[in-house]
Structure 1
Amino acid sequence: MHPLLKSCFGLLILGVYWPMNHGKQVIDTHQLDNDWPTYGGNNAGNRYSPLSQINLQNVKNLQPVWTYETGDNKDPNQRGMDIQCQPIVVNGVLYGTSPRMKLFAVEAATGKQLWQFDPFSDPDKRPRFHPLRGVMYWEDRERADARDKRILYTVGSSLYAINALTGKPVESFGKNGEIDLHEGLGDKETLGHDVANLSIRVTTPGVIYKDLLITGSAVNEGGDAPPGYIRAFDVRTGKLAWVFHTIPLPGEYGYETWAKDSYRKLGGANCWAGMVLDEKRGVVYAGTGSPSVDFYGGARPGQNLFANCVIALDAKTGKRIWHFQTVHHDLWDRDIPCPPNLIRVKHKGKMVDAVAQATKDGYVFVFDRDTGKPLFPVEEVRVPTSPALPGEKPWPTQPVPTKPAPFSMQELSEPNITSRTPESRAYVVDRYRNSLKGNKYLPPSQEGSLIFFVGGGAEWGGTAADPDGIFYVNGNNMLWWLKMRENQQANNTVAMTQGSRLFNTNCSVCHGLEGKGSGNATANSAQAYPDLTNVGKRLTKEQIATILETGRGRMPSFGHLSKDDREAIINFLTNLEAKPASSTVVDIHSSVVTAPVTKGADFPYMPPYLNNGNTQFRDQDNYPAIQPPWGTLNAINLNTGEYLWKVPLGEYPELAKKGMTNTGTENHGGPIVTAGGLLFIAATYDEKLRAFDRKTGKIVWEYKLPAGGFATPITYMVDGKQYVAIACGGTRYGLKSGGSYVAFALP
């Protein structure tokens, strides 16, 4: 039976009436299915389900019905990443990934394992861990009886095609089921350097249009970042089909928005957060991140297209249809952090096919899907261009939508500072009064700034939308401390050993200039990035080597570094190698240098100024430095641009016991909404999965998960029974790790 007919038949059995016209905004016909067949639920990325068996009246009875243990993260010496995967369900089978990058298939009704694929079962393949947020499904629809059904997912720089029925690699795809994602990024003749050994991975799955797999990538954000081109591969053979240059080559549209030959020395401008597809139009919509290097753009004067853009591409050819840049000449790492969302809204009395994009700095841009014209006016607002670092040319204006209002805090003022205790307020006020603050577009400086949006705002968990044009987004209000300083290595002002150079190149972006981590650890709340100054006393050299090579928890693999380079870092960390001539640790943001740097060479680019690492600013007890809410859940009517409701999301259990409730917490993972009137989301520090009334924002059910659910849930139906499932990977915020998936249903 055709999937659409099957879906309609199932809905008739359930007594569900789906109004295709009559003023309701139809989202996507794939949504009529009882499955959850793609990342985001459907090609449009709505994260909406028409299922209503679980609803406002009975959700209080929801209970766990099965748990699937992946087997990972049980041995503290064999941990992988947290689980950020939103699984998919096709024909009653759930496909997902484990903390150690294994792909699995289980019965969606029982959690019984059908098969598991381990990309590192070959002893010659060492693990390479990184965040992995989903997988893709494709089947051969040219033959009704075909058994060619594939799951496609990425591990490191490898894209795998796995038989969905057996869990075996599809030998006709690439080389024995695997292709190298360095393909299509350019060669030495074009770029002036080789890309084969540069770090690239895919953290969020792409989309499949007919027989094309279209994907972005995650790359480093420092001086050795490869270009973040969007590419399409033949889903049958793995052959490269087309490439869209997000950093234009000479003669291409947008080349003039960079310095001459920027494409030879800079990278990034990559779609790491995912994309969506309008299958009827044959158009793919993607959002891109910032160009390298973060926080200093002296080598790239101009607007820098197509970094920080929402882009519409012809899915068949990769040709640009339209674009809109949300940040010009990004100096603040304000990537587009989640996929766009294809919705229908009523605008000026007419129904309009639209695309909505949430941003790291709390904006929601809404565009006409065909033209890219904003549905609500966007103003080019003048912003500060000084004080700027020498060589920097900040762009004088930035786009600001007039509607909707921002869903996250925009600027810091003294009344916004925490008053949790007199001591915490005094601690934060002291830093506040000795830092730059104010306009969120203040250029990075050597004086140091307190800013929002190094992290979201919106995060990678994505947004949801229902057929009424209501848009749901969770957001963070977290403060960051950004301080720039001269790159002594680039300017040859300090001698550095190999180990210290590599540490600064690869590790200080997260662990800080002196390896002391970020935040302030307490018994109740571990800091975001651990202190490494005494790591040699806590771990053996062999244990450190394993973590560097494979990754663990939030830390990705650095297996792309040579063994000698990893050993040099270990020697530096364990104080077995002499300190550099200067005691100052020089930070090079997320750059990976695997060969001696030649002065004057285009690549890797060595910026003259560097940041102090990803340093979140909290009080001395490691709680957020501002007044709550620290995390929110928002419902916005995109027909009008007005808020339907805004509520805190999550709380700290230890503060709640003291009477400080409903604070919200930092949150990672997104929402889904259903025809049953519900919104489901986990994402928070308190490790709970919650159901909200989608019309009011009231919590109507919650459940403490076995480990934090820092992923986006799904819902689906098998044999007439509706389920809600989520990955429980933990690890984030210093919480316990986990390796399971849990499904819920009504008794």
Structure 2
Amino acid sequence: MTPFKTGWEKFLMLTLEKTAFWVVEFLGVVLGLTLVFGGLWLLFLGGSPFYLLAGIAIIAISFGLFKRAAYALYTALGLLAVSVLWALWEVGFDFWQLVPRLLAFIIIALIVTALARRLFQKDGRPAFPRVVANSLGVVLLGSLVAFIVGMFFPHPTVVAESSGPAPVIQPQAGQDSGNDWPAWGRSTAGNRFAQFDQINKSNVKNLKVAWTYRTGDLAIDGSEYQVTPIKIDNTMYLCTPLNKVIALDAVTGKELWRFDPKLRITDSNRGWKRCRGVGYADTSTLPPEALQPATDQTGADQAVTQDASPPSGACRKRIVSNTNDARLFEVDAETGKPCEDFGDHGFVNLLDGLTDAPENGSYYLTSAPLVADGVIMVGGKINDNISVGEPSGVVRGFDVRTGKLLWAWDASRGAKDSTPLPPGEHYAPQTPNFWGTAAYDPKLGLAYFPTGNQTPDFWNGDRFPYSDEYTDAIVAVEIKTGKEHWHFRTANNDQFDYDVTSQPILYDLPGKDGTTTPVIIQLTKRGEVFVLDRRDGKPVIPVEYRKVPTDGMPGMRISPTQPFSAISIGTTPFKESDMWGGTILDQLYCRIQFKQMRWKGEFTPLSDKQRTLIYPSYYGGSNWGGGAIDASTGTLIVNDIRMAQWGRFIKQDEAKRIGLKPSAEGEYSEQIGTPWGVERSMFVSPLGVPCFKPPFGTMTAIDLATGKTKWQVPMGSIQDAPVHGIVPGVRIPLGMPTMGGPLVTKGGLTFFHGTLDYYVRALDNDTGTELWRARLPVGGQGAPMSYIGKDGKQYVVVVVGGATRTGTNANRGDYVMAYTLP
């Protein structure tokens, strides 16, 4: 080897080494200064001093590297040691909270250790002997690898104490529905429980796609597939976001018929088209008194129908559905042709009896109707936060054969009167509405539905006393008359759009003395799980009324107490150490933002002076998808959302001046007719990730007999969730916000596909462990369902049209997919 070549190599190595030092020194100074200035800001706000001290230490490390001084290495190792102690003191061994607190300091220590052979003490000795430095490097590299590997495994929030099966306490549970799935929640009890065990823990890994059907209605331009199909005999029925009803062969997936009600596009439903399910009625099983004479429906829409009067014997079995332009309709379950004896040629106009406000389409229906004992029970959705004067939240019951209006319950009359108003009169505007699906107890003859609040959601100073009485309530009425038996408020006063939206779950709760109590289980956006005696509405699981902040804006109606159940999910109050972020820097950012917000716990009122943290958020907790219960063991299964938000009041003129665009669902709501608009948004870091600790969505199992959480696991990964338009593409099971609901089977399985990544999963009911996962073409939002086909095989079906609220037409679909064992 020539001296020239050897010299050149030495020069090149020295140059690379110097460059490496310069880069590390520069990045260190930048990181250190950022932490120092951010740390000073946080300290000024009363926050943790750690970031300031860490920033000073990193600057010292950078200067030590510049001087090639050994103290750079000692400081880096000291900083890592202190960060470990600090992190364990703040968050214990919570894996995801340790990541941003330790990862940066592990990397810094690793880099400085790699440069250790060029760092010297004052007497010229190296910082560490080579063997020690190399060993230390291996340990640090191993720690880094361990953190990275740990990201690819789920980290349960609550680990199951036992993997053994829960004892069966109701062996006959679920058998009342036979091999079918006859209602949106499988039965009118809304338990989403199927007693089938052909697919079970031991063989679920063998599930394969049996058939795939595409509806032809892509979930684009504001459409979302949130439907759970029903199955009667050997036919499956579902609806598309455009309210088309489709019948499929349950074994082959072959289309049998479809009916198009010709949805009228309005200003409101143009960007909000959903159909979550349909109902079913067999009128041949109804007693004579249930069959009322047909009456004209004044003002009913003249819908385009397929034929004139149906032949004799038609419409014995009926599919009942509603539309986003406020019509209720029925078609023959065997042919798909309109039931001409229902309403006006198959249609009832649900705008009758409402004020003129809904002419712009602000009243519409999205959820499956309840069909029970010859009655169709429906509520309606109104636009939130746009204006006062929205239409009534009236809940109505119609005769299932004729479409005659049997009763009408609205908050302005409450328990006093549920008789329909005479033609030409209007139900009181902007009363709390019900936009989900009701539940029904045939033994008691009572139907149960949850309500929201009087719109607008965030300013409540102008609400009627009767609206406050029924805000976010559970109401029990007679299915035949609509007469109210009781109601229970899940919030004494609502300032945050905490509509109670999920279908109530009915269950007979065994007692220690051998008796059973008929209960209603109501999930809420607040994450509170209320368990009441469904005979009288009295709490069975204790409810405590706690003091909440009341320092709201002048004119606001704020209750000093709010109800809290002894069972809740994801409701632990925030503190500064709960702030998260993908890196140490955006964690610091989130802590600063948190300290600058108003937050005195749940129900902290909004202000016009500073942003107020809203947690739980108005998306949930539990949203419309609801939960499920293993009715054979008494185990409640619930998916939840954990997203914090912020809001502040702003004058409408000021919002217009700074360019905020008003909408019902966006980041600014005008609330016309009130003193204030409201600006709101998700609480996220500059990287676009939530500013609070994971998981952001979980699946939880609760033993209702004890109220104890059996297990809680994160649901979903970041794989398909874009952040600033970038899709990670790696399956890191952080636990993401969920939508839709679970399906529980006697095979010991919970099925779910409402995650932000494109998978359907099966979990072990006893531990929450994922036993099976299958890739979907796009994301899903509804709830799975299951049945036994005429071939004797158990099927699990999901409908997928895209993950929730992506805001684009990309990655959208129209798939109905059935799985079975080979």
1:41 aligned onto 2:172: no
Check whether the contact 2:643–2:696 (CA below 8 A) recurs between aligned residues. yes
Q: Deviations over 1:539-580 (max 9, x none)?
A: xxxxxxxxxxxxxxxxxxxxxxxxxxxxxxxxxxxxxxxxxx
Match of 1:273 among 436, 443, 448: 436
Match of 1:738 among 801, 813, 818: 813
- Please tell me the residue identity of whatever aligns with 2:320: L
Check whether the contact 2:242–2:274 (CA below 8 A) recurs between aligned residues. no
Check whether the contact 2:581–2:690 (CA below 8 A) recurs between aligned residues. no
What is the rounded CA distance, in whole Å, between the counterparts of 2:333 and 2:495 in structure 1?
Answer: 43
Check whether the contact 1:219–1:268 (CA below 8 A) recurs between aligned residues. no
* Residue in 2 that maps onto 1:152: 320
Q: If the length of structure 2 is used for normalisation, what is the TM-score?
A: 0.69
* Residue in 2 that maps onto 1:622: 688
What is the rounded CA distance, in whole Å, between the counterparts of 1:217 and 1:661 in structure 2?
Answer: 39
What is the rounded CA distance, in whole Å, between the counterparts of 2:207 and 2:341 in structure 1?
Answer: 44
What is the rounded CA distance, in whole Å, between the counterparts of 1:66 and 1:105 in structure 2?
Answer: 15
Larger radius of gyration: 2
Check whether the contact 1:221–1:294 (CA below 8 A) recurs between aligned residues. yes
Check whether the contact 1:247–1:305 (CA below 8 A) recurs between aligned residues. no
CA gap of 1:25–1:465, structure 2 versus 1, over 3 A, is farther
* Residue in 1 that maps onto 2:342: 173
Check whether the contact 2:320–2:369 (CA below 8 A) recurs between aligned residues. no
Three-state SS of the structure 2 residue aligned to 1:429 is helix
CA gap of 1:437–1:138, structure 2 versus 1, over 3 A, is same
What is the rounded CA distance, in whole Å, between the counterparts of 1:463 and 1:122 in structure 2?
Answer: 32
* Residue in 2 that maps onto 1:653: 719
Q: Deviations over 1:63-98 (max 9, x none)?
A: 111001111228xxx756120000101111111122
Check whether the contact 2:459–2:495 (CA below 8 A) recurs between aligned residues. yes
- Please tell me the residue identity of whatever aligns with 1:148: R
Matched positions, count = 606
Higher relative CO (Cα under 8 Å, sequence separation at least 6) belongs to: 1
Check whether the contact 2:267–2:361 (CA below 8 A) recurs between aligned residues. no
1:60 aligned onto 2:135: no
- Please tell me the residue identity of whatever aligns with 1:363: E
Q: Deviations over 1:280-324 (max 9, x none)?
A: 221101111121121111112757121211111111111111111
1:345 aligned onto 2:509: yes
Once the two structures are TM-superposed, the CA of residue 196 in structure 1 deviates from its matched residue by 5.3
What is the rounded CA distance, in whole Å, between the counterparts of 1:654 and 1:158 in structure 2?
Answer: 36
What is the rounded CA distance, in whole Å, between the counterparts of 1:212 and 1:509 in structure 2?
Answer: 32
* Residue in 2 that maps onto 1:360: 525
- Please tell me the residue identity of whatever aligns with 1:424: D
CA gap of 1:461–1:119, structure 2 versus 1, over 3 A, is same
Check whether the contact 1:730–1:737 (CA below 8 A) recurs between aligned residues. yes
Three-state SS of the structure 2 residue aligned to 1:304 is helix
Once the two structures are TM-superposed, the CA of residue 45 in structure 1 deviates from its matched residue by 0.4
What is the rounded CA distance, in whole Å, between the counterparts of 2:641 and 2:248 in structure 1?
Answer: 34
What is the rounded CA distance, in whole Å, between the counterparts of 2:248 and 2:652 in structure 1?
Answer: 51
Q: Deviations over 1:449-490 (max 9, x none)?
A: 12122110001111101122111110111011111112449x
- Please tell me the residue identity of whatever aligns with 2:212: T
Aligned pairs for 1:98-113 (under 5 A) are 98-113=240-255
CA gap of 1:67–1:423, structure 2 versus 1, over 3 A, is same
| Greater than 4 Å deviation, 4+ residue runs | 25-29, 121-129, 142-147, 193-198, 249-253, 493-496, 654-660
Three-state SS of the structure 2 residue aligned to 1:483 is strand
Match of 2:463 among 300, 309, 319: 300
CA gap of 1:745–1:627, structure 2 versus 1, over 3 A, is same
What is the rounded CA distance, in whole Å, between the counterparts of 2:645 and 2:263 in structure 1?
Answer: 41
What is the rounded CA distance, in whole Å, between the counterparts of 1:240 and 1:263 in structure 2?
Answer: 14
1:704 aligned onto 2:775: yes
* Residue in 2 that maps onto 1:138: 281
What is the rounded CA distance, in whole Å, between the counterparts of 1:430 and 1:263 in structure 2?
Answer: 48
Q: Deviations over 1:415-471 (max 9, x none)?
A: 111142123213322321221123111112112112122110001111101122111
Aligned pairs for 1:323-722 (under 5 A) are 323-349=487-513, 350-386=515-551, 388-401=552-565, 403-404=566-567, 406-446=568-608, 447-452=610-615, 453-466=617-630, 467-488=632-653, 507-513=662-668, 587-589=669-671, 606-613=673-680, 615-653=681-719, 661-719=732-790, 720-722=792-794
Check whether the contact 2:242–2:263 (CA below 8 A) recurs between aligned residues. no
Check whether the contact 1:471–1:636 (CA below 8 A) recurs between aligned residues. yes
CA gap of 1:291–1:631, structure 2 versus 1, over 3 A, is same
* Residue in 2 that maps onto 1:235: 400
Q: Deviations over 1:24-69 (max 9, x none)?
A: 27556533x1111100011100000011110111100001110011
CA gap of 1:142–1:654, structure 2 versus 1, over 3 A, is closer
Q: Which sits farther off after the overlay, 700-709 or 443-452?
A: 443-452
Check whether the contact 1:285–1:313 (CA below 8 A) recurs between aligned residues. yes
Q: Deviations over 1:225-251 (max 9, x none)?
A: 212111101111112110111233797
CA gap of 1:434–1:151, structure 2 versus 1, over 3 A, is same
What is the rounded CA distance, in whole Å, between the counterparts of 1:22 and 1:96 in structure 2?
Answer: 33
Check whether the contact 2:502–2:625 (CA below 8 A) recurs between aligned residues. yes
What is the rounded CA distance, in whole Å, between the counterparts of 1:512 and 1:22 in structure 2?
Answer: 48
What is the rounded CA distance, in whole Å, between the counterparts of 1:429 and 1:126 in structure 2?
Answer: 38
Check whether the contact 2:780–2:804 (CA below 8 A) recurs between aligned residues. no
Structure 1 gaps of 5+ residues are: 1-20, 188-192, 254-261, 514-586, 592-605
CA gap of 1:477–1:142, structure 2 versus 1, over 3 A, is closer
Check whether the contact 1:412–1:438 (CA below 8 A) recurs between aligned residues. no
Three-state SS of the structure 2 residue aligned to 1:141 is helix
Check whether the contact 1:227–1:247 (CA below 8 A) recurs between aligned residues. no
* Residue in 2 that maps onto 1:83: 225
RMSD in angstroms over aligned alpha carbons? 3.0
CA gap of 1:640–1:127, structure 2 versus 1, over 3 A, is closer
Check whether the contact 2:739–2:782 (CA below 8 A) recurs between aligned residues. yes
Three-state SS of the structure 1 residue aligned to 2:522 is strand
CA gap of 1:495–1:440, structure 2 versus 1, over 3 A, is closer
- Please tell me the residue identity of whatever aligns with 2:592: D
Check whether the contact 1:183–1:240 (CA below 8 A) recurs between aligned residues. no
What is the rounded CA distance, in whole Å, between the counterparts of 1:437 and 1:111 in structure 2?
Answer: 52
Q: Deviations over 1:515-562 (max 9, x none)?
A: xxxxxxxxxxxxxxxxxxxxxxxxxxxxxxxxxxxxxxxxxxxxxxxx
CA gap of 1:612–1:227, structure 2 versus 1, over 3 A, is same
Q: Which has the higher helix share?
A: 2
Check whether the contact 2:450–2:474 (CA below 8 A) recurs between aligned residues. yes
Match of 1:725 among 774, 788, 797: 797
Once the two structures are TM-superposed, the CA of residue 100 in structure 1 deviates from its matched residue by 3.0
What is the rounded CA distance, in whole Å, between the counterparts of 2:719 and 2:657 in structure 1?
Answer: 48
Check whether the contact 1:436–1:449 (CA below 8 A) recurs between aligned residues. yes
CA gap of 1:281–1:309, structure 2 versus 1, over 3 A, is same
Once the two structures are TM-superposed, the CA of residue 741 in structure 1 deviates from its matched residue by 0.6
Three-state SS of the structure 2 residue aligned to 1:730 is coil
What is the rounded CA distance, in whole Å, between the counterparts of 1:413 and 1:103 in structure 2?
Answer: 48
